Amino acid sequence: MCELLGMSANVPTDITFSMAGFLRRGGATGPHRDGWGVAFYEKEGYREFKDPHPSIASPVARLMLDYPIKSHIVISHIRQANVGEVNLSNTHPFSRELWGRHWCYAHNGQLAGFRNELPLSHYLPVGSTDSEWAFCWLLGEIRRQFPEPPADPHLLQQLIHQSCEKLRGLGVFNLLFSDSRYLYAYCSTKLAHITRRAPFGAARLKDTELEIDFSACTTPRDVVSVLATEPLTTNETWHIMQPGEMVVFEDGEVVAERNSHSTSHPQYS
């Protein structure tokens, strides 16, 4: 299956260290050779780079490692195709507009019967993947229930989690999803995250021989959370998410958590 990478930070931050390990999973340390993509949020601005070629051999991937774009939210995906041809239109992440915001989506997994079980409304897919179809359905459900942004963000969280639970019922559905302020992460089978804050230390990548001392390139107020299908480093403790668990990040912090049986709201601004 595919792999996911995400980041949420309270200051503009580049993700080149994590990308250096993650991109090797696209044909070197992993079998995911069917394209890759990455999206960066810079306040209301949005940049997206996609390539249907393996990330290990992609000139666009090399550009990302040489061009450290600083962002508050990042979503990246490397693809191992199971539904849809290998081409640019089927390459994640996918994006659409709602409420004057860029919404970005990347999915790891496979869904059965999605055309019958997920009727589409406002949004239609450009490509032929189950992933983009599910994105169009999910964003359509949000638009249908909330024509305007809800005053209480927990109502939106509840809808997203309930929708993800329905999608998990169709197969494997691991998700990274953002509206430029919040980063939503939903786990069906595999997803992990780590939050780095002062005092910062060293981190060593699993997929390549690279180590960094974050204390040399951060300030005491920095907070950065990174998510990946599987932990990227060997000397840090990652939180392994459970099936049915959704975590919401804002400015690097976990602001809400939901699972199949209970809900908690650590904080909200």
Q: Which residues are catalytic?
A: 2
**Encoded tokens for 42:** 């810079």
- Span between the terminal Cα atoms of the chain, in Å: 36
**Encoded tokens for 126:** 């450009």
Q: Distance (Å, rounded) from C-alpha 235 to C-alpha 212? A: 11
Instruction: Tell me 71's DSSP state.
Output: E
Written as one letter, the residue type at 6 is G
Sign of CA dihedral 96, 102, 103, 105: positive
* Phi and psi, residue 252, nearest 5°: 85, -15
Question: Do the beta carbons of residue 248 and residue 264 sit within 8 Å?
Answer: no
Instruction: Tell me 233's DSSP state.
Output: B
